[in-house]
Structure 1
């Protein structure tokens, strides 16, 4: 799109020096109609609603301004990317409780710049040992039986131990303050509480926090969570006592970990669960451990793309999608050519079929990860795609799995959506971390666990687990359900190119895929790549079923030539709100080494750099 003038925002986004160099001399006027801040100088549209945020020393792009600022405060105190990530996650627990909790789950992808290595951390709890696979699926959407083992706090400690520098008490201080003293509630969070009011009202511990006076808090009302403040303070105090007793930093962090998983927090959660018919017990908490693993990866257009391994389905999804479209010259297509979007849609369709057929907890089943990630496999699956017509949602590839039984008839049970949050960090030493955390569906189980102030993940619900017997992702005691969380790091010849992630449940892999194409194939700067219109495939009843009805939900800002072209190819197109899909938070490094942060206007995300 060619603007008829150079807006103030465009001057800032492009960089003053390059913008001035490109201006005709009359454009340098300091007053009058052509002045940089004159109303007549601005175009009718802008390429991006937010400017890119420079991060010469470091910064944080997170799902809420207070979280981004809390993380940046840690960097300013000499903390590392890991310290910033933990502080930001703790604040997200307070300010975005519908999607984040220390008792939730998640994944982190971490670049250790000095070692030149990328690591993945899974902090995902499984089903409690008492879980009954024959439970009514409706009980897994919310309530006491929907609880999975809390994983996120273990992930915070694992990050702090391996890559952090600052005390846990310092990292938790911003979150403790916001929970204890309050913060102005974001209007969107107030809306989500209102939507969930009937469910939250069933549980007195939840209603006491989220429905003060029996009704949802108003937008911008001062929102507090005193039980959460006490829990976070008790964890900080456990570390402080250990340090005062002569423990080193690592042992002191372990003391906080034990306080959560075998001490008072676990005891309160177990007591509350048993008293209310839930399955979570002390033994489940004590048995849990976060896991460091090698990320899944692929090479795309000469760049190394790293993402989360199982039990995240998104790492497999993202890599296969990139491998499929690498066979086409996407950069040569005009932005309004419907073929570009058609190819992306079909790549997602084929990949969803493969991943939903095979992905599951690798501790319980054999998953053909190497085959799903291979370029040869992608070429075979690419051959399914018709250049001119939309294909039906296919069956996942038939890959031998050591004599596993054939799948049973596909169920028509509909998948339940999920809600997440994401943040990306870079520090002064060049380390980078992307984290995506979740409580599953909005507000997770909707049950605050006793006096802890914490919500747990409802990750056993249909969608994260398969709806029928015989599938490798059928829920079982101790088994981890699949997450959509898949934070990304991209390296260019060993150097950081991009760190990013997004929330969005089923749309996470789709959003990140489109964003990477925008950055890599279409060479967009980060904020423009974030704000470009997106689509998301929806399957009825679910992506588990071959032949499912697929609709392409498209943000209404798409060029009509694209939407009409897709419809002519046989795609079912559903128009949605103009800014509706995903919420990318990321940092992009250009060829000069400049690091620019970007944050998505689709939610209340914000980037802060210094």
Structure 2
């Protein structure tokens, strides 16, 4: 009975069914489902937000307001994005913070060009590969000192600000400092994940003092203050990136790690440097979709789109078993390549252009059986050519747009909470493989495979949309679905994010973790029972799940300069403009 209820679009649709039975005229007036919306798709949580002077979309309403305040003071889109990200590090410690990494794609309206920034940190240089085998470890632990890598976010802020900033960093960080000192009310979803993190992280030194006031996680609506983080932000505002990487903050981090069995050193912090990279793209039915190259997983979205481009998805329909099947198979193909090839390009020659080529997609597409789910695919062999997370997007009046994603990994990160600094260090090092010869094999001073990816779309060499989706391996799948929802199924920027999602899990992983043969397919509430039944008949393992479908923000820009903002209905987020 429970499965039957869940198949009918979950609890919300059950309520709609009851309402329709009580008020049959409502059902008659709106079709087969009793929605209140007069226009737009019935599943949309709201219409897009429209504005011309500026737009911000984040997963925290107060952070969105901070971004708008910065824009109104004359700040750039990048200034506003940094201010919002700093606030989210305080208000959403379950997904981000200055103990983590950052990636961004920026449209510069003056140069009419996209710029990409990889602000991910490297593994400790003093931690040898042999340490893990010597200590009986077959994989890098998820928490504690061993998965900690250099936090890259602060350097990312200053790199972005140096190229595209207008206001002084002290003014940009002040709103977050104020909230850290006076407190803010914890939102619903953040309170939920915060409480879930406590049992795993409270054992690590410093965590309870900072993140468990009164001996527990704060509840929804309770005020939370973090004066330690306020002081750290103030030191960064006054001393710049050097205060974090070469000053007392770096020394406090190094001393804390050494005292608690870690390897991250002052030298690791002092030698850190972000990297400006060229975004890469594929054209999908006239739209150029841009991602950053590895060590991130963004090109998986491009591979999925390339494979699917030859099919008439619009004719199949968004909830058809044919479309869902093809999407799942394309994802499997892309993720096998992801497991084999995606890694730090400083340590391996990665055939990025071959992987995202149309020719390679045509070769891989031949492996798909249109009537049957595959149990497994092998990774392709393109010839080498020699020679938990937050996402936000901001646009300003001049047409500059920034797509920024930032994360601790695994929600609140490693649990390692140094001294009185007010933040947790990331555990991104868990993503390394311990298999010798693997592209993503752990090595000292190496950047791990990364899941967080910003995205951008241009059309006719003009900015069209800045967007991203939070959620680990969910991200490239949802990037592709956002594009398909808009291009093939004609949705607006808000509907594209609200539409029920497809999630395939279980392909080979860059950490060598292989799940059930063929993986399993999760469909969000809103797919017909007949579609689920047909997919089972085709050999898919279909599961009923709620929650793992990611979190989305997007800003679309029309030719006449109007911004259309959207935020994730599954999160606490907010899009607003002026």
* TM-score normalised according to structure 1 size: 0.84
> Residue 538 and residue 47 in structure 1: after superposition, are their counterparts in 2 closer, same or farther (change >3 A)?
closer
Structure-1 residue corresponding to 2:311: 328
The DSSP-based 3-state class of the residue aligned with 1:310 is: coil
1:99-178 equivalence runs, <5 A = 99-133=95-129, 134-135=131-132, 136=137, 140-178=141-179
Structure-1 residue corresponding to 2:439: 472
In structure 1, which of residues 60, 73, 80 is the aligned counterpart of residue 76 of structure 2? 80
Structure-2 residue corresponding to 1:428: 397
- Aligned pair 1:279/2:263, yes or no? yes
> Residue 401 and residue 497 in structure 1: after superposition, are their counterparts in 2 closer, same or farther (change >3 A)?
closer
- Aligned pair 1:521/2:488, yes or no? yes
Which structure would you say has the larger RCO, counting Cα contacts within 8 Å and 6 or more residues apart?
2
Deviation at 1:547, TM superposition (A): 8.0
The DSSP-based 3-state class of the residue aligned with 1:576 is: coil
Deviation at 1:132, TM superposition (A): 3.3
- Aligned pair 1:359/2:342, yes or no? yes
1:425 and 1:587 in contact (8 A); partners too: yes
Deviations 1:316-343 (A, max 9, x none): 1011111111111222223342111111
* TM-score normalised according to structure 2 size: 0.89
Deviations 1:265-284 (A, max 9, x none): 11111111111111011110
Q: How many residues align?
A: 537
2:508 and 2:515 in contact (8 A); partners too: no
Deviations 1:392-444 (A, max 9, x none): 221101235599xxxxxxxxxxxxxxx11100111101111111111111211
Structure-1 residue corresponding to 2:572: 604
- State the distance in 2 between where 1:513 and 1:541 align: 19
Deviation at 1:138, TM superposition (A): 6.5
- Aligned pair 1:301/2:285, yes or no? yes
The DSSP-based 3-state class of the residue aligned with 1:475 is: coil
Deviation at 1:358, TM superposition (A): 1.0
The DSSP-based 3-state class of the residue aligned with 1:73 is: helix
Structure-1 residue corresponding to 2:14: none
> Residue 379 and residue 40 in structure 1: after superposition, are their counterparts in 2 closer, same or farther (change >3 A)?
closer
1:166-565 equivalence runs, <5 A = 166-238=167-239, 256-313=240-297, 315-400=298-383, 419-461=388-430, 464-539=431-506, 542=509, 544=512, 545=514, 548-565=517-534
The DSSP-based 3-state class of the residue aligned with 2:519 is: strand
The DSSP-based 3-state class of the residue aligned with 1:587 is: strand
> Residue 101 and residue 137 in structure 1: after superposition, are their counterparts in 2 closer, same or farther (change >3 A)?
farther
- State the distance in 2 between where 1:77 and 1:87 align: 12
1:353 and 1:395 in contact (8 A); partners too: yes
- State the distance in 2 between where 1:43 and 1:53 align: 17
- State the distance in 2 between where 1:137 and 1:207 align: 30
Structure-1 residue corresponding to 2:22: none
In structure 2, which of residues 551, 555, 560 is the aligned counterpart of residue 587 of structure 1? 555
In structure 2, the gaps of 5 or more residues are 1-28
Deviations 1:133-155 (A, max 9, x none): 24236763111222110100000
The DSSP-based 3-state class of the residue aligned with 2:283 is: strand
> Residue 467 and residue 338 in structure 1: after superposition, are their counterparts in 2 closer, same or farther (change >3 A)?
farther
Alpha-carbon RMSD: 2.2
Deviations 1:268-302 (A, max 9, x none): 11111111111011110111111111012111111
- Aligned pair 1:575/2:558, yes or no? no
- State the distance in 1 between where 2:219 and 2:163 align: 41
1:345 and 1:537 in contact (8 A); partners too: yes
Deviation at 1:204, TM superposition (A): 3.8
Structure-2 residue corresponding to 1:251: none
1:580 and 1:602 in contact (8 A); partners too: no
Deviation at 1:542, TM superposition (A): 4.2
In structure 1, the gaps of 5 or more residues are 1-33, 239-255, 404-418
Deviation at 1:487, TM superposition (A): 0.8
